[in-house]
Amino acid sequence: MTVEELLQARGLKNTGCRKYILGELLKRESAMSETELKESYPNLFDRVTLYRTLKTLEDRGIIHRIVLCDNSVKYALNRNHHEGSAQHTHFHCGKCDEVLCLKGTAHFDAELPKGFVLESVIVTIEGVCAACMRAARPRSVKS
């Protein structure tokens, strides 16, 4: 899936800012914050353009917005496993701050209060990613 195909499929024009954002997101597995996006192309686009473009891409279902428990925000591509699902499960590494989309779903195993209706469940798993675990204790030797 190329950037151009993604945009065309949703009836969006093939503009500079969109190409950059989607190009960056396609390059990697992990989600990106606005700051990380800016760092990868400093001064290329206005801050407002970045916000508006992210909003457009989100509205058209090309990316989704992830809010972490420190209320920082990241954006990730909608991939196949996002189709038709209201469930979002993300992994946040407390060491390197990376965020990944996970495929499994989460379950809430208690009853909701009487009369309450569930629409969707948003799950964030906090932990440490494999790369940071390796960095913390090389060759399985505890420090």
Partner DNA sequence: TATTTAATTGCAACAATGATGCACTATTAA
Partner DNA sequence: TTAATAGTGCATCATTGTTGCAATTAAATA
Which residues are near DNA by CB under 7 A? 12-18, 33-35, 44-49, 51-53, 55-56, 71-73
Report which of 73, 81, 63, 120 is spatially closest to residue 99, judged by C-alpha positions. 73
Helix axes 47-59, 16-27, angle to 10 degrees: 70
Beta carbon of residue 65, minimum distance to a copy of itself (angstroms, whole number):
8
CB nearer to DNA: pick between 33 and 78? 33
Residue 140 interacts with, from DNA, a copy of itself, none (CB under 5-8 Å by kind)? none
CA 78 vs. chain centroid, Å, equals 8
Phi, psi of 23 (to 5 degrees): -60, -45
The CA distance from 35 to 97, in Å, is 13
What is the DSSP secondary structure assignment for residue 7, as one 8-state letter?
A: H
Q: What's the closest the beta carbon of residue 50 comes to DNA, in angstroms?
A: 7
Quick one: 29 or 46, whose CB is closer to DNA? 46
The option from a copy of itself, DNA, none interacting with 15 (CB < 5 to 8 A, set by class) reads: DNA
**Which of DNA, a copy of itself, none lies near 123, with the C-beta cut-off 5 to 8 A by kind?**
a copy of itself
End-to-end CA distance of the chain: 44
Q: Applying CB under 8 A, which residues contact a copy of itself? A: 65, 67-71, 73, 89, 91, 94, 100, 102-131, 133-134
